[in-house]
Amino acid sequence: MFESYGVLNIWTYVLGAIFIIMVPGPNTLFVLKTGITRGVKEGYKAALAVFIGDAVLIFCAYIGIASLIRSSPFLFSLVKMLGALYLLYLGLKILYSTLSKKGQSQSSAHEEPEHVFRKALTLSLTNPKAILFYVSFFVQFIDMNYAHSGISFAILAVILEMISFCYMTLLIFSGAALAHFLSEKKRLAKLGNSMVGLLFLGFATKLATSA
């Protein structure tokens, strides 16, 4: 069926996409944290921003921005460092709000809820390696002899977003359920938030030091 639209080995692609989406990263971690601290509605707001960010990066990959970044080491390094700095900022902010007296006296569920979408979108868009990934991964499943490669690219993108939606939904509802458990265990919640902050710092270091 999909071969007629220039898509090759569709089930291999689906399996690969599932494993790739399930690998922990800043986006999924932020959606999970939002589900825990702010509930299902804000969790879906964060997930929507991730979907939009991924769609933008996929489109950029399709029109060739990935080739531009690959051919310009300075541009690639610049975007990569901006992404690392933003992850560093988020990690430090989470740690500060968790460990400070303000963080102990106020629930993080009430801190800047209007910024959830913006933060998640920024996380999604400040990852230049995602563009390169989409090119290198998608191209393996596209028939280069097919005249309308844009259709092939769109099919693969929709499948990826559908899988991502299912996984994000699982994270959001798991996070919301976990929130009820943590609401009575303040020390455990504090430890969990601290771990999230440290993970963001780890993502920032990995992005900044990666080749």
DSSP 184: T
Asked if 198 contacts 91 with a C-beta cutoff of 8 angstroms, the reply is yes
What confidence category does residue 191 fall into, taking pLDDT thresholds of 50, 70 and 90? low
For position 110, what pLDDT does the model report? 47
Q: Which of 171, 164, 195, 162 is nearest to 35 (CA)?
A: 171
Asked if 26 contacts 94 with a C-beta cutoff of 8 angstroms, the reply is no
Alpha carbon distance, N-terminus to C-terminus of the chain: 39
Per-residue pLDDT tens for 73-127? Answer: 777 677 677 767 877 877 787 777 767 755 444 444 444 555 889 888 988 887 7
Domain range annotation of the chain: 2-183
Mean of the pLDDT values across residues 29-55?
88
Asked if 154 contacts 62 with a C-beta cutoff of 8 angstroms, the reply is no
Asked if 94 contacts 34 with a C-beta cutoff of 8 angstroms, the reply is no
Mean pLDDT (the chain, rounded): 77
